[in-house]
Every structure is written in C-alpha cells, then in structure tokens.
Structure 1
C-alpha cells in the first residue's frame, strides 16, 4: 500500500487524496487507541480510500485499496492494536463484503464474510462492532434484510452466520452500533423506525428495546454513535435533524439533547463518530457541502472544535 504523508501543523491544514470524494459518500471510522484512528470514504471512481491518524500525523492512500458499488454503505472495525482492520461494504449485486488488512501483508484481501454471500437490501446502511474474548475477535455486522426491512445481525466465523433479528426499520435507515465490556459485552444499535423516530436496541446478554427515542427525523437521516465505559456507560448519538444541522444526544445516566454541532448541511451528508481513550475524546467525521470529509473534535466538556478536512 502506497501512502502520502502530511504533518499535523494546525487545524486548518487539509490533506488531499488522489481523486475527489464521491458526492454522497458514506463515511466510516474506527478508533485504534488514544490519538490513533482510521477514516474511510468512497472516491468518485468507486474506490474506498483510507485516511489514517497517528499522534498528529495523517496519511492517505493514493494507491487503490478495493472497490464497492457506487454509494456503498461502509463500516469499519480493528483489533490487535490496529494490526488487523476490517472494512465492510456492499457489492454491485448487493452482497455483503468484508475487506481485510493485516499488518505485514501487502494490501487488502476479501474476508470470510465476502465468501458467505449474504444478500442485503439495496438501500441498506451498515454498522459493525468488535471486541476480544480470550484474544479472539468477536465481530458483529448489522444490515437491513431485503423486503422485510428488518435489521439482521451477522456473526463472524468461517463461515459467517446470521445472528439476532432486530426490529424492522424505515427502509434505508441510517445505522450505528457501539459496544463496551463491563461484566460482559454490551451492544447498542441505533436506527430509524418506520415512524421516523430514532430508536435504540440493546443487548446485555439478551436483546431488548432501549430508552433512546427522538422526535421524527428526515427520512434516512445519517446516524453516528460513540460509546465507552468510565464508571458508567457514556453514550453519544449524532444525526442530521429537520433543519439539516448535525445534532447531538448524550446519555451519562439518562438521555438528553446536547445541541447543534455543525450545519446546516445538504441532505445525505453521512457521518461517523469515535471515542478513543474512555475520557471523552470524541471525533466526528462527516461530508460537507463541498464533498470533502470534515473532522470535528471534542475533549470532555469542552466545546466542539474544527479539525482536518480530507479529499479534493
């Protein structure tokens, strides 16, 4: 994989990839450790591009990684300190695909999920979580089923298998998922219900409807989420509201609205969120009206600040 490097100098610096970001590209992000993350989007040729941050230094792929169908949904996870990365997308014939990067090997290769041939709804978005159990990765991917609009869980393995069936959602719903470990694994999935409200579905050993619920939102609003455990579970959800602003919702022991982050933006500006040290270091990545991918940063209770922008 060939990389182009730019050094972090100031928040206004921009990092350009080889081609423009697709207008309407999905955005995925995965936190590797404190001050280290990867961001993925699709370029105008259908290639998935990677932007990687490590302690103030950004790199951007200029060689091809892999292709997906145009306007493919994206999700990403990593494990083993970022030595293993998995990116999830959808093929031109609407099959789930997994692309794997392993440190020490050259480039990206298709994973077991690709070989499993699970067809998903043509309008689905994707979400994914990963945690380690005795050193072994447990990955869950969420997508909408064809026709039924139900959210299906997919469980990693060789072969992958279908897991829990979650509620039916609005067709083409945004999807976001988070997990944390505290006396077992806890998973949260966020989606838009048929009545246009945003909802939460929870797994704490078994699945149940969560407390999070918003007013009605625009159809297919982008949904991003971040969560971590620090004495209590701390959950954040971001979406684009009816006024086209990206707004925040937070729970540190009960849900409440947390204000506007950025906007207004055109519709179908997709976003992704991460937290990377369980101290409230948040990063939100989204596509702006000029099609670039923008970063907004928040540390603890401080205000949101503008970070980098990617893509020409």
Structure 2
C-alpha cells in the first residue's frame, strides 16, 4: 500500500464550498465535493492520473467564480498543474520548473491577489533535502531557494494570514521538519524569517496548517499533524500570546498511521470552523474531523 496524499480547499461564493483531492490505488486523483444545501457527493469524480503516491497541494481563488489549481507529480515525476475554471471545466495546466526535485517530495502551495495578477507560490523538496520555491506572477519561474536542510521526505504545508500588508506583500507561513526533525516555521511578510518551534513530530508525519484573522486583526494559526499512535494532534498560535506547545489531540480517535496525509481547511461563521481530512491506509476511507463549537468526527467512505 502506497502512502497516498490528500489536499483540501474551501471558499464562499453563493454559500460555502469544500473540495477534497486524494489519490486512489488506481493512480488517479479524485475530487470529493461538499456544497451548502447539497452535502457530500460520492467522491468518485476522476480527474487525472499521477505517479503512485504523488504529493498533492491545492489552492482556490474567487475573483467572480472559483478557479482551482491542483499540484502533483505526473507519471514522469514532473511537477504538474491541473486547473479548473467554470468556463472550461478541468484541464491540464502548466508544467512547473522544478530543478533537482526529489521523487519523495511533498508539496505546498499558497496564493493571493496582487493586481494585476494572481500570485501563486509552490514549494517542493530538492534532492539535496533543501526546499525550493516556484513562483507564478505573470508566468512560472524558479523562486527563492532555502539554504536549510529539511528531513528527507518531510511533509510541507503553507498557510496565508493576510493577503495584503505593505505594498501588496502578503503575510504567510511555510512549515516543514528540519533535518533534526524539529518543526520549523518560515514566515514571509516582505522578506523571509524563520524560527524553530521546538517541537519534533514523528518523522514524515502529515502536516497541514490553516490561518485566519479575528475581528480585532489578531492572527491565529493551527497546525495539524499525525502522531505515532495514529491520532491527529494540534499546535496552536494565537496573537498576542504566541505558540502553545506541546500539542493536544482534538478528537481521541485513531484514524490512520502517522504517515497518513493530513489536509485542513478553516473559515469563520459564527465562530471558527475547521475541517481536517485524513486518509487511512485504505484509499477508500477518509475521516473528517470537525470543529464547530466543539470537536467531532465522521467517516466519509470515499
């Protein structure tokens, strides 16, 4: 059984929408959809074929209608984009520049609006274990190269906090395990800075981060990781108090091995709403952990 991947996105446009992307044993990546007033579909929408065990990352932006981008490794181990727009549906997008990409890489992606273009950043691991950024502004190019060495095969995750800060510079974070296994946070707010969070997840555990601003403009970050017992655990950051470490387990249910991928989304309704998606050792079994005035879980059976 391969270690399959998972990615999740959400947006508001005439109601709430959720999409979850995952690979099945046939090598194809599928989409499951939840729409307000409809609920979940069957999760049987087949999109494209990828290398077995492909990493996945997904973004969505909504100028007037949703535009979705899914990033993966194709069967030739090339970093590829698959795109959706309501005007044409799904189709193959760009092949991204990805020099020295390692086949065991994870992927992370983040996007923001910077007139006149949508900005996209994709992150992958190189063969020397460092992390590489790929930039979309008016076209794709190789971006910033991080000098620090990450743990080989580390999970990657990115989360945006503020879209526009100064001169359209966003504030976002990228997370991965460094070579000694500690979880590192790399912050962009016009320039890069980083810090060690002084927490060491199980090697190659799934990592997924979400972030939001409250009504007072304070930043909040949640990182969800798999642990050795197969639980999902949470690290929390709340401005101005900072990080709360060690983590806690939101729902005491064993959902997967520690290497199972984790995908998380968050939005604000009456309070903060969080959904976490974990793929177990069977590709036909995704568990959704739900935070809505308390934690619960349900098995989605796709």
When normalised by structure 1's length, the TM-score is 0.84
**8 Å Cα contact 2:118-2:137 kept in structure 1:** no
Structure 1 residue 157, shift from structure 2 partner = 4.4
**8 Å Cα contact 1:116-1:159 kept in structure 2:** no
Single out whichever of 88-97 and 278-287 deviates more from structure 2: 278-287
Structure 1 residue 36, shift from structure 2 partner = 1.6
For 1:111-150, list aligned pairs within 5 A. 111-112=93-94, 114=95, 116=97, 118=99, 120-134=101-115, 136-146=117-127, 148-150=128-130
| Distance of 1:221 and 1:263 partners within structure 2 | 17
| Distance of 2:204 and 2:104 partners within structure 1 | 10
- Number of equivalent positions: 284
| Structure 1 residues 262-294: Cα deviation after superposition (integer angstroms, max 9, x where no partner) | 444323211111112374211100013554111
1:64 aligns with 2:52: no
Q: Indicate the SS of the match to 1:64.
A: strand
| Distance of 1:185 and 1:162 partners within structure 2 | 19
| Distance of 1:48 and 1:175 partners within structure 2 | 19
When residues 308 and 266 of structure 1 are mapped into structure 2, their CA distance, relative to the original with a 3 A threshold, is closer
Q: Which residue of 1 aligns with 2:243?
A: 255
Q: Which residue of 2 aligns with 1:284?
A: 276
1:92 aligns with 2:75: yes
Structure 1 residue 133, shift from structure 2 partner = 1.8
| Distance of 1:233 and 1:304 partners within structure 2 | 21
1:73 aligns with 2:55: yes
| Structure 1 residues 163-183: Cα deviation after superposition (integer angstroms, max 9, x where no partner) | 112232000001110012252
RMSD over aligned CA atoms reads: 2.2
Structure 1 residue 39, shift from structure 2 partner = 0.4
Runs of 4+ with >4 A deviation: 115-119
For 1:99-114, list aligned pairs within 5 A. 99-106=82-89, 108-112=90-94, 114=95
Q: Indicate the SS of the match to 2:260.
A: coil
When residues 59 and 211 of structure 1 are mapped into structure 2, their CA distance, relative to the original with a 3 A threshold, is same
When normalised by structure 2's length, the TM-score is 0.86
Structure with the bigger RCO (C-alpha within 8 Å, sep 6+) is 1
**8 Å Cα contact 1:274-1:283 kept in structure 2:** yes
| Distance of 1:179 and 1:135 partners within structure 2 | 19
**Where in structure 2 are there 5+ consecutive unaligned residues?**
none
| Distance of 1:191 and 1:213 partners within structure 2 | 12
